Amino acid sequence: MNALTRPDTPQVALEHSADTLQRARALLQQTLDFVRQQARPWSGSGLSKASDDPYVISRFGDLQIHIEVAAALQERAQRQLQEHQEPAEISVALAEAAIAASQALLAASDAEFELTGQRSPQPQNLDDPLRWKYQLIGNYRLNGVPPQGFRSAV
């Protein structure tokens, strides 16, 4: 399925970003588990556990913020959809939720590689490129041009 064959509904867009957010959460948990149970501290740190490293700790704090921001934008988009808000506002909210969820997943994937030396395979997301969502949001906020439909024009 791609952007031209995928059903063009706000519900599908919301489900897609929710799935991406769930993958980010799962990857964060997987990385947390690895660092707690298997990771060794950097040899020059003088620490006995990798989980005591202030840089590792701050990395997880950063990831948690990415995920919480994505979750808040997801909830906002869902609320706007349920309350039958203005279609342009719904479309922008859905785009913001999709971008935040994708950024959270990318950050979690990068941290997984950085902290575990491994990278879990992630499904390609070529059916809905984010670059169009940035343009949709910016054009609406800057120029007042309402989005055309609920999917990217590819």
Q: What is the domain partition of the chain in residue ranges? A: 10-38+49-143
Domain 10-38+49-143: assigned CATH number = 1.20.140.10
Q: Which has the closest alpha carbon to 59: 102, 107, 119, 27?
A: 107
Taking only Cα atoms into account, the Rg of the chain, rounded to an integer number of angstroms, comes to 18
Q: What's the confidence (pLDDT) of residue 152?
A: 39
Q: What is the mean pLDDT of residues 10-23?
A: 93
| Local confidence band at 124 (pLDDT 50, 70, 90 cut-offs) | low
pTM: 0.85
Burial of residue 140, with CB atoms counted within 10 A of its CB: 0-12 exposed, 13-18 middle, 19 or more buried: middle
